Amino acid sequence: MLLYILQDAPEIKTPDAQIKETKTGFLNCSVSSKPASNITWSNGHGIEITEGLVKGSNFLSLNLTDVSREAAGQYLCLANNGIGDEVHENATLVVTCKLTFKILRYGIESNV
């Protein structure tokens, strides 16, 4: 009797997200692989994120609360299950916010 064990390198899906400023939302990373993958998130500076994570057997979501405009940008989902190379995919977080501006009055002097 022959026994075949199917193994697949990870395939990642990380849709971009749009969240209103001060609200809560998620960046989701879904991974299809056999065996299951170790999944991580890192920020745009390559620093691994370890807080606010919601983990399932084939996904890792980054829970973003009280989102500020500074949180906008690129995030990276990485997956590795030992089959082939580690794979990664970028997700873009867009933070929508109210436009705020100040009108400043300047005194203008002119010498002719």
Query: Strands of 48-49's sheet, edge to edge?
Result: 17-20, 87-96, 73-80, 38-42, 48-49
Q: Per the confidence metrics, is the pTM higher than 0.95?
A: no
Task: Encode 15-48: b = buried (16+ Cβ within 10 Å), e = exposed.
Answer: eebebeeeeebebbbbbebeeebebbbbeeeeee
User: Could you give the domains of the chain?
Assistant: 8-96 (2.60.40.10)
pLDDT for 81: 93
- Residue 41 is predicted with a pLDDT of 97
Per-residue pLDDT of the chain (112 residues; tens, 9 = 90+): 666 667 888 999 999 999 999 999 999 999 999 999 999 999 988 999 999 999 998 999 999 999 999 999 999 999 999 988 899 999 999 999 987 777 777 766 555 5
